[in-house]
Amino acid sequence: MKPKFLFITLFLISSFVFSQSVNVKGVVTDETDMPLPGVNVIVKNTTKGTSTDFDGNYILDDVSINSILVFSYVGYQTQEITVTSTSETINVVLLEDAAQLDEVVVIGYGTQRKKEVTGAVSVVDSKAIEKLNPQRVEQALQGQIAGVNITSASGSPGSGANIRIRGISTNGDNRPLILVDGNVIEDLSVLNPSDIKSVNVLKDATAGIYGVRAANGVILITTKTGRKESELKFQVDTYTGIQSTSKKIDLLNARDYAIYVNDAADETIYYVYPNSGTDWQEEVFRDAPMSNINISANGGTEKAAYSAGISYLTQDGIVGGDKSNFSRLTGRLNLQYDILENLKLTATGLYTNSEKNNLPEGGIGAVLYNAVNVNPDLPVRDLDGNYSTVDAVTQIEIINPLA
């Protein structure tokens, strides 16, 4: 009897194990019973999944019991369905995501709902900008829009960036056309990112109204406005932080430098004062403070809507301290007033005052160039308290980076 009992027990355990997964299939349709091709069907928290075919059919093998299937499709609400022991067929009806489809985008000829736009229009709204908390508008677009390349040739405070929407041209100007509330501007540094409601990037024929100036694409920026029949609301946002360098170049200290020079001269000379010398990177890099404050007011009456904001940003550089910094004061005022039923007055005012101090960058004379090339056995200051002078034995134009 014991062998038979053992065999029956093992058989039951095996049956229980094999029943923990099922093959799932089904059809995904919309509310009108039309099949949806290309719907993503993913097992939640895994990389296992598939997509529906042209007729909306899908098949998933070996799906564990109690797993959650996630059905997602652009323009439709995502659905999650739990797999049970009897879930061999799961048919799904996806509902339209009205909020996503009714999102208003700005194009050259006005505004349209997102589902009505067939051109290449990308949007970055104020919520996405607030999450990034950028110092400049270009930073809010970086990595957010496909086909838009943003590069910076400098890391100094307040430095600008190059925006390329349609790649790099072999000649001519590559900059896109930039409009703020319908007005052309050349420099995005005059804008406070917190004042922006949305950024729309036009990359094809949707920008045709702007003619040849739109050959490199168009960036349409809409600033925040008030709402009619709303109470006056004030909002204050502020932050402060410290910036520091994340990595330094490995260089020889004074002792290792002396050994290297002695080996080159093929002489046995012992270093008299075996200390580490001057770490020039440690001397030039600083913890740089940065702070920003935004104050805004929004409201409206039966016929008018108004929005105003003021912002002040100050940022020091991690190289040079107070010798490399950036400050910006911006003010904004938007006013909309219904004069008549078919006549509306819209006024927008922007004010910017910025100051920027830069250090030499790139090549000979740059602070970082001198910091990585000056001898580590040279002190920062001489015995008289003056900045030390670099000997011209290397035949390279190097100076004390702190001088």
Q: What is the mean pLDDT of residues 25-34?
A: 89
∠ CA 241-242-245, nearest 5°, is: 145
Percent pLDDT > 90 in the chain is 18
More confident residue, 363 or 330: 330
Q: What is the mean pLDDT of residues 66-91?
A: 86
The number of residues in the chain equals 403
Burial class (CB in 10 A: 0-12, 13-18, 19+), 260: exposed
CATH classification number, 100-223, choose in 2.60.40.10, 2.170.130.10, 1.10.3720.10, 1.10.1060.10: 2.170.130.10
34 phi and psi, to 5 degrees?
A: -90, 135
Comma-separated ranges of CATH 2.170.130.10 domains in the chain = 100-223
pLDDT at 274: 52
In angstroms, the CA 254 to CA 53 distance is 68
Q: Model confidence over 220-272: pLDDT tens digits?
A: 888 888 888 889 999 999 989 998 888 888 877 777 776 766 666 665 555 44
109 is written with which tokens? Answer: 């000829």
Signed CA dihedral, 96, 97, 98, 103: sign only: negative
Q: Model confidence over 39-73: pLDDT tens digits?
A: 889 999 888 888 888 889 999 988 888 899 999 88
Task: For the chain, count helices (H), then strands (E).
Answer: 7, 21
Is 393 in a helix, a strand, or coil? coil
∠ CA 355-188-120, nearest 5°, is: 165
Q: Of 99-108, 114-123, 170-179, 342-351, which has the strongest mean pLDDT?
A: 342-351
pLDDT at 11: 42
pLDDT at 220: 86
In angstroms, the CA 403 to CA 393 distance is 19
Q: What's the predicted TM-score (pTM) here?
A: 0.62
Q: How far is CA 403 from CA 63, 285, 365, 386, in A?
A: 68, 14, 11, 9
| pLDDT bucket at 26, cuts 50 / 70 / 90 | very high
71 is written with which tokens? Answer: 């059905």
> DSSP secondary structure string, 276-289?
----HHHHHB--EE
| pLDDT bucket at 105, cuts 50 / 70 / 90 | low
Q: What is the mean pLDDT of residues 358-373?
A: 80
111 phi and psi, to 5 degrees?
A: -125, 150
Q: What architecture (CATH level 2) is domain 19-97?
A: Sandwich (2.60)
Percent pLDDT > 70 in the chain is 79
387 is written with which tokens? Answer: 């900045």
Find out whether 196 and 309 touch, Cβ atoms under 8 Å. Answer: no
Q: Which residues partner with 38 through β-bridges?
A: none
Mean pLDDT rounded to a whole number for the chain: 79
pLDDT at 268: 53
In angstroms, the CA 60 to CA 239 distance is 49
pLDDT at 360: 78
What amino acid is encoded at 165 in this protein? I
Comma-separated ranges of CATH 2.60.40.1120 domains in the chain = 19-97
